[in-house]
Structure 1
């Protein structure tokens, strides 16, 4: 839990920072004012840029998190699995912590190893962030009273929760593929790439495999994203008052 807790603050600050700066840049270029209300195309371009940029940070973070979480079960190498099960000999976990996990991956697989599953994550995050920031923007404007210049705490909370449900609900299939690719390679390399992972998963478990965890993602998406957007809007208001 320590690694996700530490990394999530940095990751979210980068994501929101890239989206905000990109949106302001687009509005400045198109309308001459960075604070001009963005059109749908402006939000789409900013969201796509954010999704593409987020892979650079998010992919190694997710990889380390998944590799460490996999150690809740006994780690067995592919070649010695049967032998150890037969003799009852316990096997030590592969990683002692996040730093050791990163060092081991770099040593065994190189820098490319930290970006295992990056293609799947790109295919998840580019449309995923479009369905994250765009619904939030329109819903928050819709439920915010006209006399308010910025979203109220309730508007930010509700719009963020709705955006989280939409985003995570639609991103689940590619998230499954991404997680399988990142979990692959600990004991053996089962998948050759995104297409191979999709084909093998569908052949072995059917179409339902791509919706595994859908309920958890959508239920989790509301409170997590509601709190994220609420914290973002309240932070902006506090910083503006100090400025």
Structure 2
């Protein structure tokens, strides 16, 4: 239970830190009218002001707390039972394969919880709603007025399973990236926080968390691009017939480098976000566990 609570709080803090750059990343991945990161940032601010960077954040900040809670809780419980099954006791140091498999299972479970929220987030982030330069009034009426309206509109237009559009790409993204995420964190934490140097734990957790996030997003970015494009498809008109068509059409039109759109931004965002996530997670665990024993 402690891991579920710590994961929820860590995820919530991570969303707040990384959301503006996440909006820029999604727009670069799904829209062709930006020449680069700074062009996207300046264009978004010029047209929509600061609020443009936080579109659709209300659902992610709550649902990411839930999904992060599930991920960390599932990971720890899966690791616990896996070690108990393999070694007869959970109180042993797990192998790298144990950590990888537990992270893989946690990523798979997350997809079913996070897909609808991810869909609403991407749709709202890619919806440009320009404001007048001299007053805060909308020039055009957006298709979606908010996260709940976005979800209801998707269900109305595409049915309930429309909320899981891009789920296959999301599964590929999350299973592999979370397996890598937890494994790399465990490895980096051992490097930065040797047993005999426990006084360096704070900096070690920060560095291990940040680097684990960078490694995980390096693995996840190609499927993240496809997932974002599939989820954004349908705001105006449909372009992709499915997962494979999205990959082949994107590569044919823009080259194989399209699969790495937003990679630098993902890594830039992942470092501070996951520093905060793991620092919060570890701190909450230390606070809760004495009371839960």
Report the TM-score when normalising by structure 2. 0.74
Q: Deviations over 1:32-55 (max 9, x none)?
A: 222321112211210110111111
Q: Distance in 2 between matches of 1:241 and 1:60?
A: 36
Alpha-carbon contact 2:64-2:114 (below 8 Å) kept? no
Residue correspondence of structure 1 range 115-154 to structure 2 within 5 A: 115-147=164-196, 152-154=201-203
Aligned-pair CA distance for 1:105: 1.4
Where structure 2 has 5 or more consecutive residues not aligned to the other structure, the ranges are 1-56, 131-138
* Bigger Cα Rg: 1
Q: Distance in 2 between matches of 1:139 and 1:208?
A: 29
Q: Distance in 2 between matches of 1:48 and 1:150?
A: 31
Alpha-carbon contact 2:212-2:274 (below 8 Å) kept? yes
Comparing both chains, which one has the higher relative contact order based on Cα–Cα distances under 8 Å and sequence gaps of 6 or more? 2
Q: Does 1:60 align with 2:120?
A: no
Where structure 1 has 5 or more consecutive residues not aligned to the other structure, the ranges are 75-89
Q: Deviations over 1:4-55 (max 9, x none)?
A: 2222222211111111111111011111222321112211210110111111
Alpha-carbon contact 1:153-1:234 (below 8 Å) kept? no
Q: State the secondary structure of the residue aligned to 1:6.
A: helix
Q: Distance in 1 between matches of 2:269 and 2:96?
A: 27
Q: Distance in 1 between matches of 2:178 and 2:257?
A: 24
Q: State the secondary structure of the residue aligned to 2:90.
A: coil
Matched residue, 1:18? 74
CA gap of 1:45–1:236, structure 2 versus 1, over 3 A, is same
Aligned-pair CA distance for 1:187: 2.0
Q: Distance in 2 between matches of 1:158 and 1:56?
A: 30
Alpha-carbon contact 1:44-1:130 (below 8 Å) kept? yes
Q: How many residues align?
A: 228
Q: Deviations over 1:172-221 (max 9, x none)?
A: 11100000000012222211111111111011111121111111101111
Matched residue, 1:78? none
Matched residue, 1:201? 250
Q: Does 1:155 align with 2:211?
A: no
